[in-house]
Amino acid sequence: MSNAQDLTTSNFDSTVKQGVTLVDFWAEWCAPCRMMTPVLDAIASEYSGKATVAKINVDNEPDLAMKFDVSSIPTLIVFKDGEVSKRFIGVTSKGDLTAALDGAAG
């Protein structure tokens, strides 16, 4: 069980519209995506109350993947008040992700 919130088309906008949100576009069959799970869980715990960490399963939500031009997974996007702040493709270090969250939080 992940600490990250599951996002769908119905709750995406309301989740990312305010504050800082890290969104992981992933799929169950993706080994690099599974490698990111413990990193994202740790960030979700450490940033509780400061930022939201969320996941979008691209197999279940292809419209959201297309909206953000996700062609490779994992793709991790940091949103600040609904706008894309930073984008990462592939396995990304915890340090790079937290630096992007801290930068977006300003």
Spatial neighbors of 56 by CB under 8 A, at least 6 apart, are 6, 7, 8, 12, 23, 24, 25, 26, 64, 65
Residue 87 confidence (pLDDT): 98
The predicted model gives 7-30 an average pLDDT of: 97
- Give the pLDDT band (50/70/90) at residue 1: low
We report the CATH number of the domain holding residue 80 as 3.40.30.10
Catalytic member of 16, 33, 43, 64: 33
Question: Given the DSSP bridges, would you call strands 83-89 and 52-57 parallel, antiparallel or unpaired?
Answer: unpaired
30 is catalytic: yes
Q: Which of 27, 30, 89, 105 is catalytic?
A: 30
Q: What angle (nearest 5°) sits at the alpha carbon of residue 70, between those of residues 106 and 53?
A: 40
Judge whether 94 and 35 are in contact, CB under 8 Å. no
Q: Rounded to two decimals, what is the model's pTM? A: 0.96
Q: How many domains, the chain?
A: 1
What tens digit of pLDDT does each residue of 54-99 get?
Answer: 999 999 999 999 999 999 999 999 999 999 999 999 999 999 999 9
pLDDT band of 50, cuts 50, 70, 90:
very high
pLDDT for the residue numbered 72: 97
Q: In terms of residue numbers, what domain contains 75?
A: 5-105
